[in-house]
Structure 1
Amino acid sequence: MHMSVRSRLAAVIGWFVLVAALLGTAAAPVRAAVPQTASSDVPPGVTAGIAIYDRQTGTFSEQLNPHLQFRAASVVKLLIALDHVWNRGPDYNLPADDRSRLDAMLRSSDDAAASHYWSQNGGSAIVGRMVSRLGLTDTAGPPAGYPGYWGYTALSAADTVRIYRYILDSAPAPVRDLVMDNLRQSTRCGTDGFDQRFGIPASFERPWAVKQGWSGFGSSGDCSNTTAARTTAADVDLTQRALHSTGTVGTGDRSIVAVFTLQPQSTSFGAAYTNLNRLVRSLNVPGGIHPAGTWFGTWGSGVRVRAGTTTTSTVLTQLPAGVEVLISCQERGQEVEVPPYRNDWWAYLPLYGGYITNIYVRSPDNKLPNVPTC
């Protein structure tokens, strides 16, 4: 059978394309496509931006929407701190009150400290300087009309990894130690009363270091007896709540973890907390070790975590309403009655270092299944 002129021409063109492709592959480096996370458990209705960077191999183990911009909430405090100590000289000495303010901002996510530096150092100009210094590509200051709202700074998971890489690998040792030592000592409660033990610290054994972010929850995230609330105007995206977990995991800060989420405006702090925990637990984080235990849902608000298995034991904290908790063991203690329920079993929560009565754990039996006795 004879080939038509068109068929012969197509065959010749196809041969040249194949040769060119083979030569191009041999001559030019191959740029790997940005992997989209296959293993992650992104809950319905949640928008996530994820970047997990393995410092040991110099590769990303997970990425999902890494360049998607989120309002940074308190994660921007990393940039505020770095800008304040930039070019401080060889000894980087800080006045005692300045150091105390930085410690509170990084360790306990103190908003007053962030606002102090934001006002003192030029507001959005801080972001502009750090974008230039660190080569950030997805970061921008708050939108027009919100110049004082540092938490509305736009930030992505990819840029957050870049920030941590600078801190760990390029920053002067006093700056690295200032930031990372504080993040390793992250307090369980922020100064505004919100529980900071979501995401990374809930999902991995130490060592870890974290800078968390949350916005739009009013006063519903209290983890202690305080009623302080995060004060904001309208959210940047106008509709959703932000909950982010960033930092490092593993010996030698092996993995840099940046997980940003936007969740529906109707999502409670406890539900958002649980969504983020499930997502972070599903990720491939080299060097990360998951704590032993079983995750259970809870019900009720203001559930107290106590030092012992009685209602007279010292109150350590209280749980965000409806949050999922890790339980490592259980033991009998004082019987508690919340009509129509009665229960004398208590669950130990390793994340909080205390007990809650099993009456508030979502399980059909008083004694939790597959949970050992303490």
Structure 2
Amino acid sequence: MALAALLSSTAAAAADPAPRAAATTRAQVPAGVTAGVAVFDRRTGTFTEQINAAGQFRSASVVKILIALDMLWNRDPATLPAADRTRIDAMLRSSDDAAASHYWANNGQGAVIDRMVARLRLADTARPPASHPGFWGYTALSARDTVTIYRYLLDSAPAAVRDYVMNNLRQSTRCATDGYDQHFGIAGSFNRPWAVKQGWSGFSSGGCTAPASARSAQNGAGAAAVDLSRPALHTTGVVGAGDRAIVAVLTLHPSGTPYGKAYTDLGRLTRSLNVPGATRPAGTWIGTWGSGVRVRTQATTGSAAVTTLPAGVEVLVSCQKRGQQVSVPPYVNDWWAHLPQYGGYMTNIYLSSPDNQVPGVPVC
């Protein structure tokens, strides 16, 4: 069968043992992906990675950090009305679009970006094009400016603002408000401690358990000097004890790229980076197939679902064990894989492996 051929042909390529130490090689950009990369070591004050660091990308939801900082400028977060704290919490933790649109409309739209560019002396950041003034996700942003934003937050912002924003980013939810799985890139590549603000635009399904919905108009597709049409997936944040490394990886993918494919490619790129202070979870990276694949609390179909995987995404498997027999004709399998980053199990049927028990993966 074509499916069987796919599984056997991709198994060797899909399995990718995860190293425990930080990578030392230059960023490895997957074929077809346009990337802007910057990794800054706060301990030494130097960049360990820079590729197209000044390149402008549409920000997607990464701009929500600037929207929050503008709202908090010269203001103690403790003085915010409860409604504003609720909105900002959701915007930073779960990438809530409605909250971003609320502040964008109320605080002058592109003027938010103009103010933050001047305050932080950003070099490559610009308000959305005049043809799309309400589209906050069309803000132009670069990897090096993203590092500057995090450096301001960590080193220059008032302590109350720093703690409020960073604590929200440390509590990033796996499922965003719109149903996209947002724990790709940094969140999928490194052990905690980390804090992230992610961005995505131009995809149709993120695969989380929460109900999915189309991206808002403010984060949709269009045309301007900055590429607004190709699907965008960005991972930004800090990694390691004491927030040692600032990581910004901005990517564009070929038109029509499925979310799971972009999620996987961004993960591979992020794992190739030299990120000082980062530690990586043990296990083997393996591709998956199928859609609507559930991760469950136990190795049974009757146990609670933790989440639903993005279709075709690569997952980290720490070990495998026998559980309930699952039948997906013509396949039958009673082996289940433990996915440490999800805290649950998936049936091995949907792993891209030619055997029921994945070779080289230990038994739990």
Normalising to structure 2: TM-score of the pair?
0.91
Q: Distance in 2 between matches of 1:111 and 1:120?
A: 14
Say yes or no: does 1:121 pair with 2:122: no
Q: Distance in 2 between matches of 1:235 and 1:327?
A: 38
Q: Distance in 1 between matches of 2:159 and 2:357?
A: 51
Where do 4+ consecutive residues of structure 1 move more than 6 Å?
none
Mapped contact 1:47–1:261 kept (Cα < 8 A): yes
Structure 1 residues 18-37: aligned runs within 5 Å: none
Aligned to 1:13: none
Structure 2: gaps (5+ residues):
1-23
Give the secondary structure class of the aligned counterpart of 2:241: coil
Distance apart, 1:235 and its partner CA:
3.5
Aligned to 1:173: 159
Aligned length: 336
Residues 220-245 of structure 1: CA distance to partner in whole angstroms, max 9, x if unpaired?
11311513221234244243110000
Structure 1 residues 79-90: aligned runs within 5 Å: 79-88=66-75
Mapped contact 2:58–2:228 kept (Cα < 8 A): no
Residues 168-202 of structure 1: CA distance to partner in whole angstroms, max 9, x if unpaired?
00000110011100000000010000001100010
Give the secondary structure class of the aligned counterpart of 1:320: coil
Q: Distance in 2 between matches of 1:87 and 1:222?
A: 39
Aligned-pair Cα RMSD in Å: 1.2
Say yes or no: does 1:244 pair with 2:234: yes
| Residue among 296, 309, 319 paired with 1:319 | 309
Q: Distance in 2 between matches of 1:157 and 1:334?
A: 46
Aligned to 2:33: 46
Give the secondary structure class of the aligned counterpart of 2:79: coil
Mapped contact 1:305–1:318 kept (Cα < 8 A): yes
Residues 50-89 of structure 1: CA distance to partner in whole angstroms, max 9, x if unpaired?
0000000000000000000000000000000000010126
Q: Distance in 1 between matches of 2:48 and 2:221?
A: 35
Q: Which of the pair has more CA radius of gyration?
A: 1
Distance apart, 1:270 and its partner CA:
0.1
Say yes or no: does 1:234 pair with 2:224: no
Aligned to 2:7: none
Structure 1 residues 43-82: aligned runs within 5 Å: 43-82=30-69
One-letter code of the match for 2:170? R
Structure 1 residues 216-365: aligned runs within 5 Å: 216-218=202-204, 220-232=205-217, 233-236=220-223, 237-365=227-355
Give the secondary structure class of the aligned counterpart of 1:162: helix
Q: Distance in 1 between matches of 2:221 and 2:321?
A: 46
Shift in alpha-carbon separation, 1:166–1:197, aligned structure 2, 3 A: same
Aligned to 2:16: none
Distance apart, 1:92 and its partner CA:
4.8
One-letter code of the match for 2:258? S
Aligned to 1:183: 169
Q: Distance in 2 between matches of 1:262 and 1:331?
A: 38
Residues 267-325 of structure 1: CA distance to partner in whole angstroms, max 9, x if unpaired?
00000000000000000000000100000000000000001111101011100000000
Residues 104-157 of structure 1: CA distance to partner in whole angstroms, max 9, x if unpaired?
000000000000000111000000000000000100010121111000000000
Q: Distance in 1 between matches of 2:117 and 2:68?
A: 14
Structure number with greater CO (CA < 8 Å, separation at least 6) is 2
Distance apart, 1:38 and its partner CA:
5.8
Mapped contact 2:239–2:277 kept (Cα < 8 A): yes
Mapped contact 1:329–1:373 kept (Cα < 8 A): yes
Mapped contact 1:85–1:92 kept (Cα < 8 A): no
Give the secondary structure class of the aligned counterpart of 1:330: strand
Distance apart, 1:46 and its partner CA:
0.2
Aligned to 1:201: 187
Q: Distance in 1 between matches of 2:232 and 2:29?
A: 14
One-letter code of the match for 1:224? T
Q: Distance in 2 between matches of 1:310 and 1:371?
A: 20
Structure 1: gaps (5+ residues):
1-36
